[in-house]
Amino acid sequence: MIDEFNIALIQTTLEWENPEANRNHFQKKIESIQEKVDLIILPEMFTTGFTMNAAPLAESMNGKTVIWMKQMAKLKNVAITGSIIIEENQNFYNRMVFVTPEGVIHTYDKRHLFTLANEQETYTAGNEKLIIDYKGWKICPMICYDLRFPVWARNMEDYDILLFVANWPEARIKAWDVLLQARAIENMGYCIGVNRIGTDGKGFDYVGHSGVYDGLGKSLLTDGIDKNTIYLATLSKLHLYEIRRKLRFLENKDFFKLI
């Protein structure tokens, strides 16, 4: 068991519908990280912003961004994750891609599409929950609007980390803060949320508030939460084991099956 797991959260602006500019921007950010980290987390749709203009921007799993992620993961010897627009079988997906330094790829397609922006009219919803076993840590990736659905996020698989990437606007940022903390508390696991900042091509403003909460809901980030910056945090497996052994709340959880 590896007790400590070091993460880097890149909270920054995004160039609207400009994949090349965003890849270059994130490459500079990633290359600037000198600390030893195990996982680098990028926001939702980090190459484009949260756009419904999928057709000209979508890539394949063999496209430039996935190739770039594999190159960066190998170069820095770190896992990298974030969501991008993928076209597959004539469908568009808001897909979270998790790439290891060895080039192993895991994917999760956003289940809850954001109907307020008519995301369901452009993208196809995923229907499978994913648990990634990386360096002895069980990681459950999810995307933005999934945060509002606690049943989907429920810790039925004894995961250690619940991970959200997002383009969550300033107008509802209080909900983001509260729900990230709630997901951590109710599932007795680390809950991480990575959001963007700046203004997108539709005029929506984003103020970040990326967060890392432990299994008791304590925030591990103490710096300003609205900066254009890279946040670092260290997670402890021993801490999880201790609070779960002492409090044992997960033993009383309801068991159910989603249909």
The 10 Å Cβ neighbour count of residue 61 is 15
Is residue 76 annotated as part of the catalytic site, yes or no? no
CA–CA distance, 34 with 216 (Å, rounded to integer): 30
Is residue 144 annotated as part of the catalytic site, yes or no? yes
Q: Which residue has the tokens 């069980």?
A: 138
CA–CA distance, 84 with 79 (Å, rounded to integer): 16
CA–CA distance, 72 with 13 (Å, rounded to integer): 20
Q: 61 and 87 in contact (C-beta within 8 Å)?
A: no
- Catalytic option among 29, 70, 110, 129: 110
Q: 191 and 165 in contact (C-beta within 8 Å)?
A: no
Three-state secondary structure call for residue 21: helix
- Catalytic option among 15, 29, 140, 144: 144
- Catalytic option among 15, 44, 119, 186: 44
Which among 79, 94, 71 has a CA at the least distance from the CA of 7? 79
SS3 breakdown of the chain: % helix, strand, coil, rounded to 5?
30, 30, 45
Residues in the chain: 259
Is residue 44 annotated as part of the catalytic site, yes or no? yes
Q: What is the dihedral of CA 233, 236, 242, 245, to 10 degrees?
A: 100
CA–CA distance, 204 with 198 (Å, rounded to integer): 8
Catalytic site positions: 44, 110, 144
